[in-house]
Structure 1
Amino acid sequence: MPRENHFANGKTLSVLLERTLLALSAVTTAILFAWLLYYSSYGFNLEDEGFYLSFIANPFPFALNTPPSLFGFIYHWPYQWVGGDIAVLRMATVTLTIALGLLLSFLVIRRLWTVGWPQAAVLSAGIASMALLVFRLRLLISSYYALAFQSLLIVTIGLLGANPYLHSPTRGQP
């Protein structure tokens, strides 16, 4: 008596593998994001974060002698909005970075592959978790490193959104 082998044609196996990898990508990204948010209220690096926080808290005395990056002027208002809470500022920086990475990877995936919206969202979440590598030195505070990376993401998102028919199969046709 022959047994039914659902994996003989390979189609069922590929669907199972795809769903498993998508679920693994979503869970891994959620764990990494939650881990960074949880530990954003711990620790303080006096060397780097002291400089970043003093420049963010009051950048105006440095108006004549500004460093090449003006991150203090840009992050001053979010610092004021969170009431000077360092942990909330760190959480906002991590959330903004992963949101920009998610948007950029979603735009790229929707341009290059013809996958459904849920698959594109989960794949882009997995790819967006790589944007969190900017915090590899455990400096979760808003700094010129984070500002440079966030501006790179914003410019790339803008370039992808500037011409919606770029790389589309019906190039130039609305």
Structure 2
Amino acid sequence: MVNMLMIKLVMRYWEPVPRGPVLWEARAEPWATWVPLLCFVLHVISWLLIFSILLVFDYAELMGLKQVYYHVLGLGEPLALKSPRALRLFSHLRHPVCVELLTVLWVVPTLGTDRLLLALLLTLYLGLAHGLDQQDLRYLRAQLQRKLHLLSRPQDGEAE
């Protein structure tokens, strides 16, 4: 509860400092070319990982759409239909794209003090509540394999 309040306050009162001190900046060659390129590649990889996570998890549920849909139709809570392994995972896991968010926050060619403060606050927030164990990783691997198998199966019309 306190974590959510902290995030809401940061989001509500955040003010960028465009002319503030810069902690690092890639200005000199070859860093001015290679560091932004490396950051770009890592950001693309992060977005691809986010896409793969959306394959494992239910996208509509992550966005809260399924909860609204179930509520309107009077179907109860969507979590009630989840397996005990999924409920265990969800009980101590933040949004599954948190690690990629950290990559996007920290891997930048220029880091000013405002970006540093934001990255530190969100890292602290994610670090306090994020923790996977071997049981969670086995469950996530099984879910990804199941969904990839569904995607790779030929459709009825494609087999001919």
TM-score by length of 2: 0.28
Higher radius of gyration, 1 or 2? 1
Specify which structure has the higher proportion of strand: 2
If asked which structure has higher relative contact order (CA below 8 Å, sep 6+), I would say: 2
TM-score by length of 1: 0.27
